[in-house]
Amino acid sequence: MSGYLLRGVSLLGNEQVDLHLDNGVIAEVSEPNTKLRITGAKTIQGDGLIALPGLVDLHTHLREPGREDAETIESGTRAAALGGYTAVHAMANTDPVADTAGVVEQVWRLGKEAGFCDVYPIGAVTIGLGGERLAELGAMADSHARVRVFSDDGKCVSDPILMRRALEYVKSFGGVIAQHAQEPRLTEGAQMNEGEVSATLGLKGWPAVAEEAIIARDVLLTEHVGSKLHICHVSTAGSVEILRWAKSRGINVTAEVTPHHLLLTDELARGYDPIYKVNPPLRTAKDVQALRQALAEGVIDAVATDHAPHPIEDKDCEWQAAAFGMLGLQSALSVVQQTMVDTGLLTWAQVAERMSSKPARIGQIANHGRPLSAGEPANITLYDPTALTLISETNIVSKSRNSPYLGMSLPGQVIATFLRGMPTVLNGSSIR
């Protein structure tokens, strides 16, 4: 016998069990603390720790290739592992753009070499994210990276005929289009949510309707052509209503929400600190409540980080000159605990569904988001919900520092992460 024995962990926040991990799988699930030791297996005392299936992120910007000054696949996946993730989907807006089989295979290979978690490249919908011609979606699907999710994230596929064709085309290999819903004409030069705060600050508004109009159009297109649609980073109460309606009609649409849209509001822009500049922008408290409710009800399927690293100089400037985006991988589970679990909106089993099994299903990756039972892949996160973590620059392992939570205390801490039975994180620190 070998591997790891996780003693007395709380399975999805419920009953205590011992988990024996061996040969990359969960070898045995047994009564707690019955086996004092297993010969050859390392023992981890897991009392008080919640065992979750390794988290799966549908929306990660790893910045490599092209912006290795902001993040690399290695540093980004290390951050992911510390956040409890065993799989991430790498967004296509790299330089060069992930719009060919060659680039997605490079990202896929670099992810394997880094070894902190599995990296599933997302392919661009259009060449160079240009919004004009379809990229070779079939070649990316057939590549070693086996791409199934396609997105121009950062930009909206705004041309309705191009969106229709993309939705139709991916049907032949069961793909899904992940839409960054942002009507470009309604958001030219937009800096923050359009509303009372933008009016006072004199910053150009990004109206909710610019997101909602695209979602409404695209769920109707999806129904019309019988395809599959995923909506990235839903941010408004109105979007939730459209998604609720679409799902009630049986339209094949899924949606994600970011941790920051579950916690932060546009009031934070008042000091003009660009650490809070993000796209889609932070919205109002009313939107935050609607998003939490939608995630609880399953109208929004998953939490996705939209982890977006930026170097210091892109945030240490005036708001208008700053880049959009914030870090998310290391803090996601804590934010979800604070906004969804501690508020009674979700159980830990439901958190596992929204942060692991559903995103794995949407991304069509087989060996993640599985139940924690014997014979399943040993992708596991151990989480201490009683910890209180002060977020500071010293505990960020990402190459960038643009976390909106710096200086805040967030509940919970990832204690260990196992990828196919091998730890990537132990005692709250990354291995290697």
Partner 1 sequence: MHRHLLSAADLSLEDTLLILDTAEEMSRVADAPVRKLPTLRGRTVVNLFFEDSTRTRISFEAAAKRLSADVINFSAKGSSVSKGESLKDTALTLEAMGADAVVIRHSASGAPHRLANAGWLRGSVLNAGDGTHEHPTQALLDAFTMRRHLRAGKGDLSGIQVAIVGDVLHSRVARSNVILLATLGAQVTLVAPATLLPVGVESWPCSVSYDLDSVIAKVDVVMALRVQLERMNAAFFPSAREYSRRFGLDSTRLARLPDGAIVMHPGPMNRGLEISAEAADGLRSVIVEQVANGVSVRMAVLYLLLGGAQLAEHGQKALVEA
Min. distance of Cβ 21 from partner 1 in angstroms? 48
What is the smallest separation between the CB atom of 63 and partner 1, expressed in angstroms? 21
User: What number of residues does the chain have?
Assistant: 432
User: Is 285 one of the binding residues for partner 1 (CB under 8 A)?
Assistant: no
Q: How far apart are the first and last CA of the chain?
A: 24
Among 30, 273, 408, 430, contact with partner 1 (rule: CB under 8 A): 273
Q: Which is nearer to partner 1, 173 or 272 (CB)?
A: 272
Between CA 224 and CA 200 the distance in angstroms is: 42
Instruction: Report DSSP state, residue 421.
Output: T
SS3 300: coil
The alpha carbon dihedral of 191, 229, 133, 165 has a sign of negative
Distances in Å between the Cα of 422 and the Cα atoms of 37, 74, 262, 274, 350 are: 18, 17, 32, 39, 25
- Binding of partner 1 at residue 250 (CB under 8 A)? no
In the complex with partner 1, the residue whose CB is nearer, 198 or 389, is: 198
Residue placing its CB nearer to partner 1 in the complex, 68 or 273: 273
Closest approach, Cβ 231 to partner 1, in A, equals 24
| Residue placing its CB nearer to partner 1 in the complex, 319 or 324 | 319
Beta strands per DSSP E along 160-211: 176-179, 192-193, 205-206
Binding test (CB under 8 A) with partner 1, winner from 76, 207, 377, 404 = 207
Contact residue for partner 1 among 14, 200, 343, 429 (CB under 8 A):
200
Task: Identify residue 300 by its one-letter amino acid code.
Answer: I
Out of 28, 68, 241, 316, the only residue in the binding site for partner 1 (CB under 8 A) is 316
Stretch of 139-147, 157-165, 244-252, 317-325 lying at the interface with partner 1 (CB under 8 A) = 317-325
Select the residue interacting with partner 1 from 285, 317, 374, 390 (CB under 8 A): 317
> 55 forms bridges with which residues in the sheet?
85
**Cα-flanking dihedrals φ and ψ of residue 335, to 5°?**
-65, -40
Instruction: Encode burial over 313-343: b for 16+ CB neighbours within 10 A, e otherwise.
Output: ebbeeebeebbbbbbbbbbbbbbbbbbbbee
Query: Toward partner 1, which CB reaches closer, 201 or 387?
Result: 201
Residue count at the site for partner 1 (CB under 8 A)? 24
d(CA 377, CA 298) in angstroms, rounded, equals 26
- Site for partner 1 (CB under 8 A): which residue of 113, 318, 344, 432? 318
Is the CB of 173 or the CB of 319 nearer to partner 1?
319
Q: Is residue 201 a contact point for partner 1 (CB under 8 A)? A: yes
Q: Is 56 helix (H, G, I), strand (E, B) or coil?
A: strand
Is 344 among the residues that bind partner 1 (CB under 8 A)?
A: no
Closest CB 278 distance from partner 1, rounded Å: 16
The angle subtended at Cα 295 by Cα 292 and Cα 301, nearest 5°, is 155
By CB under 8 A, residue 95 contacts partner 1: no
Please check whether residue 239 is in contact with residue 181, taking contact to mean a CB–CB distance below 8 angstroms: yes
Alpha carbons 3 and 23: distance in angstroms, whole number:
7
Q: Which of 1, 199, 285, 349 binds partner 1 (CB under 8 A)?
A: 199
Interface with partner 1 includes 271 (CB under 8 A)?
A: yes
Q: Does 163 bind partner 1 (CB under 8 A)?
A: no
306 catalytic per annotation: yes
Hey, is 55 helix, strand or coil?
A: strand
Contact of 29 with 19, CB cutoff 8 Å:
yes
Cβ-based nearer residue to partner 1, 142 or 196? 196
From 152, 218, 306, 314, the catalytic residue: 306
- The residues binding partner 1 (CB under 8 A) are 191, 194-205, 207, 271-273, 313, 316-321
Active site residues: 306
